[in-house]
Amino acid sequence: MIEFRPNPAITIGLVGGVASGKSTVAGLLADRGLVRLDADAEARAVTATPAVLERIVERFGSGVLDANGRLDRAALAAIVFDDRERLHELESIVHPAVRRALHSGIREAHARGDSVVLDVPLLLEGSLAEECEVCIFLEVDDATRAERARGRGWDDGELARREANQMSLQCKKAKCAYTVDTSGSLSSTVRQVDEILARIASSSGS
């Protein structure tokens, strides 16, 4: 397994549709020495804090809490994903804190000489794209994505609903320097990731 330590350190952003394999590829990059920063993990941490949780309950009601008083993410998602205005309300509460945490994580990693991989939904639509020296598009056929979505317990329309207001996959791909086809075997994905890292290292002179 290669270790990826370019000098200077860089940030790699992963881009793709829902169920395109971002978590898998982020894990592979972490195995190769990059610091993985996961927006969903940061969001879970942020929404568990009393101050943020209180604001969410004020906006969306006590129905977004489970029996133990913790945030019921599925209940909240059911409210916001079909309502753009409500989604924006939630984002206005959660996203600023998540962005601050991610920007801070990038700075801290680079100060140590560590490169970063960003596992961030809607990366290109937000300010974090500006942190990325390289973006990699994860390509997978629609049938495979639908199968993966069903594996998450989603109905057949959930994937389309989640992507309805997003940048098109064609536009996302056009903004990325590299593409990994994640529809095949894990070994195929590993090979492609290692080839891209070698190309990046070569182009940076590392």
Segment 95-146, tens digit of pLDDT: 999 999 999 999 999 999 999 999 998 899 888 999 999 999 999 988 888 8
Would 4 be classed as within a structural domain? no
State the pTM of this model. Answer: 0.84
Q: Does residue 163 belong to any structural domain of this protein?
A: yes
In this prediction, residues 29-50 reach a mean pLDDT of 95
In a domain? residue 30: yes
Whether the pLDDT of residue 47 is over 90: the answer is yes
Classify residue 142: in a domain, yes or no: yes
- Within a domain: 5: no
Q: Does some domain include residue 173?
A: yes
d(CA 28, CA 36): 10
Q: Taking the CA atoms of the chain, what radius of gyration do you get in angstroms?
A: 18
Range of the domain at 152: 11-204
Q: pLDDT grade, residue 206 (50/70/90)?
A: low
pLDDT at 159 over 80: no
Mapped onto helix, strand or coil, the DSSP state of residue 192 is helix
Tell me the mean pLDDT in the region 33-46. 95
CATH code for the domain in which residue 101 is found: 3.40.50.300
For residue 204, is pLDDT > 80? Answer: no
Per-residue pLDDT, 150: 82
SS3 104: helix
| Closest of 56, 28, 53, 36 to residue 192, by C-alpha | 28
| 180, 136 contact by CB (below 8 A) | yes
Q: Is residue 1 part of a domain?
A: no
Whole-number pLDDT of residue 149: 76
Phi-psi region of 21 (alpha: psi -120 to 50; beta: other; left: phi over 0): left
DSSP string, 41-73: HHHHHHHTSHHHHHHHHHHH-GGGB-TTSSB-H
Q: Name the residue type at position 197.
A: L
Asked, for residue 39, whether it belongs to a domain, the answer is: yes
- pLDDT surpassing 70 at residue 58: yes
Question: Do residues 71 and 53 lie in contact, with contact meaning Cβ atoms separated by under 8 Å?
Answer: yes
Q: What domain count does the chain have?
A: 1
